[in-house]
Amino acid sequence: MREIGIGVVGGGYMGKAHSVAMSAVGAVFDTTLRPRLEMISARSEEAAEAYRRAFGFRRGTGDWRRLVDDPAVEAIVIATPQALHRDIAEAAFALGKPVLCEKPMGASLEDAEAMAAAADGSAVANMVGYNYIRTPASQYARKLIADSAIGTVTWFRGEHTEDFYADPEAPASWRTSGVANGTIGDLAPHMINAALALVGPVKSLIAEVETVHAERPGGAVTNDDQAQLMCRFANGAMGQMHFSRVATGRKMGYAYEVHGTRGAIRFDQEDQNALWLYSAEGPDAARGFRKILAGPEHPDFLPFCQGPGHGTGYQDQIIIEAKDFLAAIETGQPVWPTFRDGLEVQRIVSAALESSRTKTWQDVLPVSP
């Protein structure tokens, strides 16, 4: 067992989540590497000091470059807005420091390509923070599909829908400016990542991206409120996805349904400790979806709780991420999703935007190994 100095860039919503995760992961998973909260950075010295006290870091700074350059900071978590991801990641990789970067990887496809190249050149651990696919239930769904429990996958439907901007009178903010902060840039990557994890690479797609409320109190909206796409996966399966921040009534609508030749799977993040499985077996009168409650027999559940049905939560997903990141650092073996996997998501987002602009099907270029 040894300590590793962790630096977290950004102290807001996700900065707090990652800081708490790094504090807890050693106890929860009995990791060989034990994080030491070495330094946190924020937009000002005052904010950094407040986060330092609140989260338990040794030091704080208003300059992320100072954090990256500090020799006591051995691994870095990026939890800033997307526009800063590339500069921070490239600086860290240049020093040979492992990076866990929040999704999406950058503010553009160009950013993502540069970050993936920097990660490849550094040969150190790198990972993108797609937390929702790490729930025990979704990990189990992924295993069932990989094990052909539902046969050959023929169809996928996924959505990431929320309603935090459903009210047209909700004021404009940073979220309503710039493609990277719109629904296709912010929410869509989560479900696209899930589709890649569950079904595999996307070969081609056609998409629509639109702004529902073009004006809000405080200014014009320059990005999208919702988007939809149809796709064809490389394995031949059909798919469709929908993303929205104006889906009235939806709070955490990260949901998917996967059909196969011998069964089907359904999942909804608003009930994240349950997975619905249909098996095409037995008499018709007895068939139907059955609810499976997440429990100790499912991936990464037991370290949190010994009782099935007791459940894990949002923060636990981030702790699981921290465990996987530490494992990648310790073993030197890549842990999914790497920056190359994150780049694959960004290529699909880029293709969807181009498809919406041209009203045509777009091929999705594969990411080289």
Same domain for 177 and 100: no
Please list the residues that pair with 363 across neighbouring strands. 204
Domain assignment of residue 368, yes or no? no
Same domain for 76 and 190: no
> 39 pLDDT exceeds 70?
yes
Same domain for 271 and 142: yes
Q: What is the pLDDT of residue 286?
A: 86
Closest CA to 359 of 207, 171, 247, 190: 207
> 31 pLDDT exceeds 90?
yes
Burial class (CB in 10 A: 0-12, 13-18, 19+), 355: buried
Domain with residue 110: its CATH number is: 3.40.50.720
Same domain for 83 and 198: no
SS3 call for 266: strand
pLDDT digits (tens, 9 = 90+) for 238-250: 999 999 999 999 9
Domain assignment of residue 208, yes or no? yes
Same domain for 122 and 34: yes
pLDDT digits (tens, 9 = 90+) for 134-152: 999 999 999 999 999 999 9
Domain assignment of residue 122, yes or no? yes
The identity of residue 130, as a single letter, is: Y
Same domain for 247 and 213: yes
Same domain for 288 and 152: yes
Same domain for 292 and 158: yes
Residue with tokens 């978590």: 77
Q: What is the pLDDT of residue 1?
A: 83
Domain assignment of residue 75, yes or no? yes
Residue with tokens 């929908």: 242
pLDDT digits (tens, 9 = 90+) for 83-112: 999 999 999 999 999 999 999 988 999 999
Same domain for 159 and 68: no
pLDDT (average), residues 66-76: 98
Q: What is the pTM of this model?
A: 0.95
Q: Give the pLDDT band of residue 366 (cuts 50, 70, 90).
A: confident
Same domain for 150 and 97: no
Domain assignment of residue 338, yes or no? no
Q: What is the pLDDT of residue 221?
A: 97
Domain termination site, one of 99, 132, 165: 132
Same domain for 193 and 106: no
Same domain for 88 and 145: no
Domain assignment of residue 292, yes or no? yes
Domain termination site, one of 132, 154, 171: 132
> 369 pLDDT exceeds 70?
no
Domain with residue 288: its CATH number is: 3.30.360.10
Q: What is the pLDDT of residue 365?
A: 83
Which H or E run includes 87?
helix 85-94
Quote the CA–CA distance of 76 and 98 in Å, as a whole number.
6
Domain assignment of residue 87, yes or no? yes
Q: What is the mean pLDDT of the chain?
A: 96
CA distances (Å), 348 to each of 74, 172, 326, 344, in order?
Answer: 32, 27, 28, 7
> 116 pLDDT exceeds 70?
yes
pLDDT (average), residues 151-164: 98
pLDDT digits (tens, 9 = 90+) for 272-331: 999 999 999 989 888 999 999 999 999 999 999 999 999 999 999 999 999 999 999 999
Domain assignment of residue 339, yes or no? no
Quote the CA–CA distance of 231 and 229 in Å, as a whole number.
6
Q: Give the pLDDT band of residue 368 (cuts 50, 70, 90).
A: low
Q: Give the pLDDT band of residue 367 (cuts 50, 70, 90).
A: confident
Domain termination site, one of 132, 154, 170: 132
The whole domain housing 142 covers 133-309+344-358
The tally of domains found in the chain comes to 2
